[in-house]
Amino acid sequence: MPDILCFTLVLLLLVFTVAWAVQKTSGNAGYVDVAWSFCTGLTGLAYLAVGYGEALPRLVAALLLALWSARLGGHILRRVTGESREDGRYAAMREKLGGATQPVFLLVFWLQAGLAWAFSLPFWEIAHQMQFDGWAVAAGGLLGLLAIIGEASADRQLARFKARPDSAGKTCREGLWRYSRHPNYFFEWLHWFSYPLIALGASLDLWLWLLPLAMFLFLWFVTGIPHTEKQALKSRGDDYRDYQRTTSAFIPWRPGS
C-alpha cells in the first residue's frame, strides 16, 4: 500500500477522534456525518491533486467531488448546529447504550473514518488513470451534477416543509417527496455512479462499480432508511404509515392511492 494511503487512514482516525470529542462536549453525535462528508471529499481531492494521470478525468472528478462534499457537509453542519435536538438515530442509540455510550460512539466514529477512507480510494485510481473515454467522462460528470442538484432540491423541499407552523406530526409529500420517501438518499446513491463512469479505462475500473453498490447497501440496510423510517413512525405514526403505503421507498415512482 502506498505510504500516502496509510498516512491518510491514520490522519482520518485522528480527525474523527477529535469529532468524537466535540460530540462528547456538545451532546450531538451528528458531527460524525459532518466529518464524513468533508473528510471523504478532502481525502479524495488530495489524491487527485498529487496524481499523475490524465488531466480530464482528474479535473471532472475533482469538481464533482468538491461540489458534493461542500454541499452535503455544509447542509449537515447547518442542521446539526441549527437544531436544538440530536438526530433521532443517535438519540435512540444514546438512550439504549446508557453508560456505554461514549466507548461505543468512539468505535462508531472510527468506523466512519474507515468508511471515509474506503470511499476516497476510487479517487486514487482516477488520479493515476492513464486512459479514459471522453464520452464516459462527460456522462459521469453530467450524472454526478444532476444527482447533486436532485439531492439539494430534496433537502430544500424538506427544510421548507419543516419550517411551516402546520408541519408538526405530518409527513412531507411535496415536490420530490411525493414520489419517493427518501429522494435525498436516492440521489446520493445515484451520484456515486458518476465516478466509475469517469474511471472507465483505468486499470481497476471494474472494481469501482462496487462504490454505488456499497452506498446502496449502507442506505438500504444500515445507516439510512431503516433508522429514518423507525424514527418517522415513532414521531408521525399513522400519517407515516399511510405515506409508506402509497409512496415508493427509494426510487422515485408514481404515488399509489
C-alpha cell at 41: 471529499
Over 90: is that where the pLDDT of 90 sits? no
How far is 173 from 93, CA to CA, in rounded Å? Answer: 28
What's the full length of the chain, in residues? 257
| Average pLDDT of the residues in 69-84 | 92
Give the model's pLDDT for residue 257.
67
Give the model's pLDDT for residue 121.
92
- Burial call 141-154: b when 16+ CB within 10 Å, e when fewer: bebbbebbebbbeb
Q: Return the residue matching grid coordinates 435512540.
A: 92
Distance of CA 88 to the CA centre of its chain: 17
C-alpha cell at 39: 473528510
The structure's pTM equals 0.92
Q: Cite the DSSP H helix spans in the chain.
A: 3-26, 31-50, 55-82, 88-97, 101-127, 134-162, 183-191, 194-198, 210-217, 225-246
Q: 240 vs 183, 206, 221, CA distance in Å?
A: 16, 40, 19
* Beta carbons of 143 and 190 less than 8 angstroms apart: yes
Tell me if residue 29 falls in helix, strand or coil: coil
Question: How high does pLDDT run on average in the chain?
Answer: 92
Tell me if residue 249 falls in helix, strand or coil: coil
pLDDT (tens digit, 9 = 90+) per residue, 161-193?
999 988 888 999 999 999 999 999 999 999 999
Over 90: is that where the pLDDT of 207 sits? no
Over 90: is that where the pLDDT of 83 sits? no
pLDDT (tens digit, 9 = 90+) per residue, 125-134?
999 999 999 9
Over 90: is that where the pLDDT of 249 sits? yes
pLDDT (tens digit, 9 = 90+) per residue, 10-39?
999 999 999 999 999 999 999 999 999 999
